[in-house]
Structure 1
Amino acid sequence: MALGKRTPLFDVYKDQSKTIDFGGWDLPVQFSGIKDEHEAVRTKAGLFDVSHMGEVEVKGSGAIPFLQYVLTNDVEKLKVNGAQYTAMCYHEGGTVDDLVYYKREENDFLLVVNASNVDKDFDWLSSQAENFDNVEVVNVSDQFAQVAIQGPLAEEVLQKSTDTDLSEITFFKFRDQVDIGGMKALVSRTGYTGEDGFEIYCKPEDAAGLWNLLLETGEADGLKPCGLGARDTLRFEARLALYGQELTKDISPIEAGIGFAVKTDKEADFIGKSVLKDQKENGAPRKLVGLEMIDKGIPRTDYAVFVNDEEIGFVTTGTQSPTLKKNVGLALVDKAHTAIGTEVEVQVRKRRLKAEVVATPFYKRSN
């Protein structure tokens, strides 16, 4: 069987973790165990290899008009050293991808896209750029490795290895060329866990040194290496969308509940604007809701959801929440059945089990 692509950190942790194929990458699903790693991030800190994510540079005097056209958020409001979460849509309103982008200089942006979408996103961006002057779009994914340190002690742990005052890097801001143990990196206060933390972009050849340095300096604080399993349960509890589940070419950002990243009031036209504006103003036909099981069972991805024998939607993600110790899920359902307290049924194998629509996120940090 052909091996998947490997990050620069694979050889560092291959003997300490269980790896799986994820979007064509050979990545760790767990180290000490999903629940153990999940708890470490919620209470102390965890370290993730996210080098499989893709990076695309967009540069030139036409970069801002171009990005205003292909992204749903308002690029003109972003200042240098700021980051922004956004979606990229098709003309029909479905989602090409969701991503974070960084403004490094006035006409210099770094887009960080989902690993499974790198080629598709790059092709999409390149094709749209043909209609704009003075825009350069370059896939620079092989120039970066990325690790994420997440959890309430993340700043404390990372601060031991840098003279840069990390408290000055506030939420969705970043600093480039930060010295971490002699290695230069872009450090942003972002993450995908619902906790405080940082995502660190470094040269591939520095990744192993950075990984080992952080684990060594963070050991006394309870920092643990974490895999994809905990990353998924953490982001799910915080109701952070996963492309391919909560977002697809057939699911709009409005339906998925990330309308805050869709600025239909910005002056610039953007791809999908008319559809998304209508959904924002008049309501989307479907809506992502939280489900909590009443009967015993776990709502898994793609399980059908019913009301009175009528199929009203499907589960996008579901599991037993490690924090809540409850069987919960996210489901995309017809808007008529989205009120909190609505009782529905989830098709779990051959049985329909009762569940209730509940508020989300399932978890929100207190500070």
Structure 2
Amino acid sequence: MNTNVIFQNPYERAGVVTPGLPILPHGVERHPIPGGGSRAVQIFQGDEITVQDREGLQPVELVFFAPDGTSDAAMIGASGGRDPEGLKAALLSDKSGAKVLRALDAAGFDIGRADGTRIFSDGSRAGEVEKFTATSDGLLIVCAPGVATSPHEQWIPTEIALYISRANPGDEKGKLLPPEPLADPLVDINILPGEAKAYEVRKGQYIQVLDVQGRECSDFQAFSMRALDKGLEREIDPTTTRALMGSLYPNPGLHSRYCSSDQERLVEIVQDTVGRHDTFGLACTARYYEELGYPGHLNCSDNINVELGQYGVRPRGGWPAINFFFNTMLDDTHSITMDDPYSRPGDYVLLRAMTDLVCISTACPCDIDPANGWNPTDIQVRTYEKTNEFSRSIGWRKFPEADMEETKKTGFHECFAKHTRDFVEYQGFWLPNQMSNHGAIAEYWAAREKAVIMDLSPLRKYEVTGPDAEKLMQLCVTRNMKKLPVGGVVYTAMCYEHGGMIDDGTVYRLGETNFRWIGGNDQSGLWLRKQAVERNLNVWVRNSTDHHCNVAVQGPLSREILKQVIWTPPENSTLEELDWFRLTIGRIGDYHGPAVVVSRTGYSGELGYEVFCHPKDAEEVFEAIWKVGEPMGMIPLGLAALDLLRIEAGLIFAGSEFDDQTDPMEAGIGFTVPLKSKTDDFIGREALERRKAHPQRKMVGLDLEGGIVPVPGNCVHIGKPQIGEITSAMKSPILGKVIALARMDLAHAEYGTEVEIGQLDGDQKRLKATIVPYPHFDPKKERVKGNYS
């Protein structure tokens, strides 16, 4: 076995590294396979097959069929004779598996007579690989078997990667082919750089604009066909769209829909795998190139004019367009600048026609600036029938080289969808923002006076197991893991070597060598795995986010609700006995109910609990809690109300109170860095000791006059100089005033100091404020401990 084979490397030229464009050697394909899933790939004689266990401890099953339907593992140089029971279970587990089975049956491949091979069954390490070579053409099926796990268990199926090195690559070196269509296309057009293509789309049909090679811009316009038939040109109008959407510049990303000057809705965005586009400029024009010294240069506006001439559309010197993948931005003076696009090979935008349309798309020919990464390439346009169903999605990547993931629904999504249609994307998941019949203020008051239930499933969970689990956690977090008992939970920071924070989160200790890290982002889990590999520790770090979803039940009545729902075995703490920052393992209802892990934790400043379960049990768990809680006044709570609760309680949020330039002391959580009682070394210790001895900034609370809520990032002044910035702010319902959290220069951080918050240019509008202790609400944490006066 070999753990050192790396197939993907960031593209690099002359000292410029672009991790967003992972480069595979010519003829090498990569096929990710999710934990519990499978994939079939056509294989040709001489192809080299490499299977990589990304996270460790994931067994893999392989089956190979020759064209005549025979199955023999020896045809890929493997030892067979195993029943591929994991593959069979995976294929029977969902509708997509059933579809694969039907396709195999139609092709004459009998999975019941397959000669299976199993690898990594003896405990593989993260990154380990196995290699095979095909001696025959055929079909390879690879499966990462796994079953649903209880929330207190820590073996979960994880992703593997399949690499195929083609013996005869065939295609032009370095040129990628378009990925498979999303469905059977009605139109499938390849647009070369410097071309524009017009096409017709009917109401309800879908339009996919796809960047084949990556880093290429594509202008898009759409005309109302009904208006064209009347001799009227009514295309997407940027000004009308901005006004109706209430957003001047969608930065980054796209408006959800685009309209004509008659305010007719023309297209809506369904999926976007990139997340960054320019939507307020013109397609490139002849004048742009002429003024830079390139007369006669191909340009998109002239190309659009030629193509639209067949529809009688008058030519224009410059065409307003949705400029997909074009990475423009505004500087402090609102001047437009540009850089390389964010799009990777195969990235796309999927739109839906809201009326009959004449559309046009281009592949931009610009090669004199970074607009196309200095290298214009092709664009693929496909249209699909309206009978197809495509979920709404915004592309998510854990890190630049990672595979794109569609926005996911949590296990509790349908439960909350009964109460709202207002969902927003958060860290790759759809989460409710506000409830239709309540709104943020009503949800806030329910948390303060009764109880709420909220979906926190996007929190990242990583299982840390093995003999060196405690050693790894002791190295990577600031709290002392040696003092954390089994069944204990602790809030802590995780830092880089320079003291800047990676993340804050909680550590659950499930056993002597079993920990669960729960944080806000994947970087913290990936950091744990990186340290484990680089330091050769006997420990595994595996992502379990998709296998453990969780709701928080918060508020004064949370204990009264959950004690009627959660059953615990005699040897475990009951819900009523559970102390602050402790966990218990139980079930819903009784011994036969779904398994749950319950911790007395939360993010609201109120008495509260978090309930973890497997997604397959999520709806049953929610309904059990709801059945008891609703009659007692419990309502669902969304992100908008959660932000109000956490600011009042002085709870920090990534990107607001901390980032990788902020240490825990500056973020206001210095209590998570026990430098005296934790004598062991940990990552960032030396830097934190230095920073603590010579502090520069401090987190403070502010009480504001005037009733205006400042915006995060607003500058804080004493006179002319800036001495701090706002990190979070709100109008507190319970306190009846505007409050804020701010990071201040230590020289001006004394309580009672009067400051001014700058708006407009920082000088022409000032909001008076006074530095006060925080948290503003319940500073002694009496409510979160359940001590109500």
Please indicate, yes or no, whether the TM-score normalized by the shorter chain is above 0.5: yes
Partner residue in 2 for 1:14: 417
Aligned counterpart in structure 2 of residue 38 of structure 1, from 425, 436, 444: 444
Matched, 1:354 2:768: yes
Distance 1:191 1:334, change over 3 A: same
SS in 1 for 2:711: coil
SS in 2 for 1:51: coil
Which amino acid in 2 is paired with 1:328?
Answer: I
Aligned counterpart in structure 2 of residue 276 of structure 1, from 682, 688, 697: 688
User: Per-residue CA shift, 1:256-304, capped at 9, x if unaligned?
Assistant: 1111111212121111111212333x25200010011123411221111
Partner residue in 2 for 1:236: 647
How far apart, CA to CA, are the structure 2 residues paired with 1:151 and 1:15? 22
With structure 2 as the length reference, what TM-score do the two structures score?
A: 0.45
How far apart, CA to CA, are the structure 2 residues paired with 1:196 and 1:237? 15
User: Per-residue CA shift, 1:6-32, capped at 9, x if unaligned?
Assistant: 212222222522212223322101111
Aligned counterpart in structure 2 of residue 126 of structure 1, from 519, 529, 545: 529
Partner residue in 1 for 2:489: 83
User: Per-residue CA shift, 1:124-146, capped at 9, x if unaligned?
Assistant: 11111120421111111111110
Which amino acid in 2 is paired with 1:264?
Answer: L
Which amino acid in 1 is paired with 2:456?
Answer: V
Structure 1 unaligned blocks of 5 or more: none
Instruction: Decide which moves more: 169-178 or 145-154.
Output: 169-178
User: Per-residue CA shift, 1:237-260, capped at 9, x if unaligned?
Assistant: 110111111111111101111111
Deviation at 1:65, TM superposition (A): 1.3
Deviation at 1:67, TM superposition (A): 0.9
Partner residue in 2 for 1:331: 742
SS in 1 for 2:723: strand
Matched, 1:176 2:585: yes
User: Per-residue CA shift, 1:309-347, capped at 9, x if unaligned?
Assistant: 111111110011122121110001100111111111111
How far apart, CA to CA, are the structure 1 residues paired with 2:736 and 2:661? 32
Which amino acid in 1 is paired with 2:649?
Answer: A
- Is the CA contact 2:566–2:586 (under 8 Å) kept in the aligned structure 1? no
SS in 2 for 1:167: coil
How far apart, CA to CA, are the structure 1 residues paired with 2:659 and 2:766? 26
Partner residue in 1 for 2:197: none
- Is the CA contact 2:588–2:621 (under 8 Å) kept in the aligned structure 1? no
Which amino acid in 2 is paired with 1:184?
Answer: A
- Based on CA coordinates, which of the two structures has the bigger radius of gyration? 2
Distance 1:19 1:172, change over 3 A: same
Deviation at 1:180, TM superposition (A): 4.1
- Is the CA contact 1:157–1:214 (under 8 Å) kept in the aligned structure 2? yes
User: Per-residue CA shift, 1:133-166, capped at 9, x if unaligned?
Assistant: 2111111111111000001110100111133331
SS in 2 for 1:79: coil
Which amino acid in 1 is paired with 2:776?
Answer: F
User: Per-residue CA shift, 1:182-241, capped at 9, x if unaligned?
Assistant: 111000001010111110110101111111221121112111111111111111111011
- Is the CA contact 2:701–2:741 (under 8 Å) kept in the aligned structure 1? yes
Deviation at 1:87, TM superposition (A): 0.5
Which amino acid in 2 is paired with 1:170?
Answer: D
How far apart, CA to CA, are the structure 2 residues paired with 1:310 and 1:23? 36
1:315-326 equivalence runs, <5 A: 315-326=726-737
Matched, 1:186 2:597: yes
1:239-278 equivalence runs, <5 A: 239-265=650-676, 266-278=678-690
Matched, 1:25 2:436: no
Deviation at 1:52, TM superposition (A): 1.1
Partner residue in 1 for 2:252: none
- Is the CA contact 1:298–1:348 (under 8 Å) kept in the aligned structure 2? no
- Is the CA contact 1:62–1:132 (under 8 Å) kept in the aligned structure 2? no
How far apart, CA to CA, are the structure 2 residues paired with 1:205 and 1:243? 30
How far apart, CA to CA, are the structure 1 residues paired with 2:409 and 2:495? 29
Matched, 1:136 2:514: no
How far apart, CA to CA, are the structure 2 residues paired with 1:228 and 1:163? 29
Which amino acid in 2 is paired with 1:355?
Answer: A
Structure 2 unaligned blocks of 5 or more: 1-268, 272-392, 394-406, 569-573
Larger helix share, 1 or 2: 1
SS in 2 for 1:166: coil
SS in 2 for 1:244: coil
SS in 1 for 2:567: coil
Q: Percent identity?
A: 37
- Is the CA contact 2:502–2:524 (under 8 Å) kept in the aligned structure 1? yes
Partner residue in 2 for 1:291: 702
How far apart, CA to CA, are the structure 1 residues paired with 2:485 and 2:526? 27
Which amino acid in 1 is paired with 2:463?
Answer: E
How far apart, CA to CA, are the structure 2 residues paired with 1:171 and 1:160? 19
Distance 1:42 1:283, change over 3 A: farther
Partner residue in 1 for 2:756: 345
Greater relative contact order structure (CA < 8 Å, 6+ sep): 1
